Amino acid sequence: MKFRGNAAKFVALIGAVLTCLVIAAPSTSARSSKPPVFWIDLMGTARQHPGAIFFTANSGSRVLHLKWTGWGKNRTVGRGRYSVSGASIPGHPYPKGPARIVAWKPMRCVPEFGNREGKTILVYRHARLNRPGDNGGRKWVDISAYTGRSVCK
């Protein structure tokens, strides 16, 4: 009688373990098949969650010290410091201060040049920058053209 009780418990335990394996296996394999999300800079360098984004090749606006939340998901938010390099008009300094980048809707991309040339990756389709305004306050700017989607085939 004791053997039957232990055998029943053992069979129930094996059934529970097998059920967990069957449920967990598809979810992990589905995640690994999705390509990673990148941001492609002006030089064609693709990076995941970049620490800085430059909007011009030489002097100009940029966001430095970026920290991202939700990178790789449908929507991500980066927080950093906005600044502009180069000479300004005397008495009218360039705006600088905290910045927030919101990017969403990853799309498939096969870059035509750069360090990910010919490989299938994801880049964000849309992005907006909330930066300090020229005359105080805050300003939203569409930066979708800087996500790297323009170099996709």
Strands 61-69 and 138-142: unpaired
**Average pLDDT, whole number, for the chain?**
85
Contact 97, 138 (CB under 8 A): no
What residues pair up with 48 in beta bridges, in sequence order? none
- The whole-number pLDDT of residue 35 equals 86
47 and 112, same domain (yes or no): yes
Could you write out the three-class secondary structure of 79-95?
A: EEEEEECCCCCCCCCCC
H or E segment and range at residue 27: helix 2-32
Does the predicted model carry a pTM greater than 0.85? Answer: no
Q: Which range of residues forms the domain containing residue 17? A: 1-33
Q: What is the pLDDT of residues 58-103, one digit of tens each?
A: 788 999 999 999 999 999 999 999 999 887 778 778 899 999 999 9
68 and 85, same domain (yes or no): yes
Total domains in the chain come to 2
17 and 70, same domain (yes or no): no
- The whole-number pLDDT of residue 20 equals 56
Coil/strand/helix, residue 73: coil
83 and 141, same domain (yes or no): yes
Coil/strand/helix, residue 16: helix
In this prediction, residue 17 has a pLDDT band, given cuts at 50, 70 and 90, of low
In this prediction, residue 29 has a pLDDT band, given cuts at 50, 70 and 90, of very low
27 and 48, same domain (yes or no): no
Q: Identify the CA nearest to 81 among candidates 95, 102, 71, 93.
A: 95
Tokens encoding 72: 């790789």
26 and 48, same domain (yes or no): no
CA gap 100, 38 in Å, rounded: 18
